[in-house]
Amino acid sequence: MNKRKVNEVEILDALPFLKSIEQAGIRELQRFGIFSLIPKNQFITMEGDSCQFFSFVLSGKIKVYKTAENGREITLYRLEKGQSCILTASCILSNKKFPAISFSEEAVEVISIPSPLFLEWIDKYDFWRNYVFNLLSERLSEIISVVEEIAFRNVDIRLAQHLIKITNVNKDEIQTTHQLIAGDIGTSREVVSRLLKDFEEEGILILSRGSIKIIDYPSLNAKSKKV
């Protein structure tokens, strides 16, 4: 991992909440924050790791997920620019082990601070405390909606929703594999393949290896809202 100190502009760009508050926070982050560059497709933490650092994502994308013995996966959430990991926070706060796997889907730049410092800042800085509490609250809602989706929603609807979510606004072609989609929506690859095939037969999209081209967005959208 590539490590160095990080400058104020980079910090403020990723963490605008720091702008509104006293300089102390930024100075402290510059002083104690450790910059790391994590290459693409690396496992960052595994299930059971202990959390020595708390990190902010400056750029890139991290997937946080659980796996089953049989290889099935379920994505809990993703971290992008300006975000940080509720499970790490929770882990440090209650001194437990990290209960999931985190993996860099894209190369990631992070600033990390040692966990004792994380705890100290919570007591010391109001803005920091607010940031962490909000982080926890928001991620919690996300995870609860994951529960809801998996428990109640049919797979075809979840699939349609997910395709919409990962479709880039100005591009109708998604680069991904059925296996990755399966992990994101918590089902098996075969089910995804079958349903995508159905969608293709309905003229909603066109499949090719490693890519899905949406050709009837309105129908896909309708599917994602089906009762």
Q: Of DNA, a second copy, none, which one sits near residue 175, judging by CB under 5 to 8 A according to partner kind?
A: none
CA distance 168 to 164: 8
DSSP annotation string for 197-208: HHHHHTTSEEEE
CB of 92 to a second copy, least distance (A): 9
- Greatest alpha-carbon pair distance for the chain in Å reads 59
136 binds, among a second copy, DNA, none (CB under 5 to 8 A by kind): a second copy
Residue 41 contacts DNA per CB under 7 A: no
Q: Considering the complex, what minimum distance in angstroms separates the CB of residue 77 from DNA?
A: 20
Q: Which of 150, 149, 156 is nearest to 199 (CA)?
A: 156
Please pick, from the candidates 25, 33, 60, 186, the single residue that binds a second copy as defined by CB under 8 A.
Answer: 186
Examine residue 66 and tell whether it contacts DNA (CB under 7 A).
no
Cβ-based nearer residue to a second copy, 73 or 109: 73
Residue 194 class from Cβ within 10 Å (0-12 exposed, 13-18 middle, 19+ buried)? middle
193 is a contact residue toward DNA (CB under 7 A)? yes
Residues 202-221: x/- map of binding to DNA (CB under 7 A)? -----x-xxx----------
Alpha helices in the chain (DSSP H): 8-14, 23-32, 86-93, 115-124, 126-152, 155-166, 178-185, 189-201, 217-224
Number of residues that bind a second copy (CB under 8 A): 39
155 binds DNA (CB under 7 A): yes
Q: Does 86 bind a second copy (CB under 8 A)?
A: yes
* Cβ contact 84:56 at 8 Å: yes
DSSP per-residue codes, 31-71: HH-EEEEE-TT-EEE-TT-B--EEEEEEES-EEEEEE-TTS
Pick one of 97, 129, 171, 197: the residue that binds DNA (CB under 7 A): 197
Tell me, by CB under 7 A, how many residues bind DNA.
23
186: left (phi over 0), alpha (psi -120 to 50) or beta: left
> x-or-dash pattern for a second copy, window 41-80, by CB under 8 A?
-------------------------x-xxx-x-x-x----
Pick the binder of a second copy from 26, 93, 164, 174 (CB under 8 A).
93
CA distance 213 to 138: 32
Which residues here bind DNA, judged by CB under 7 A? Answer: 70, 72, 154-156, 177-179, 186-191, 193-197, 207, 209-211
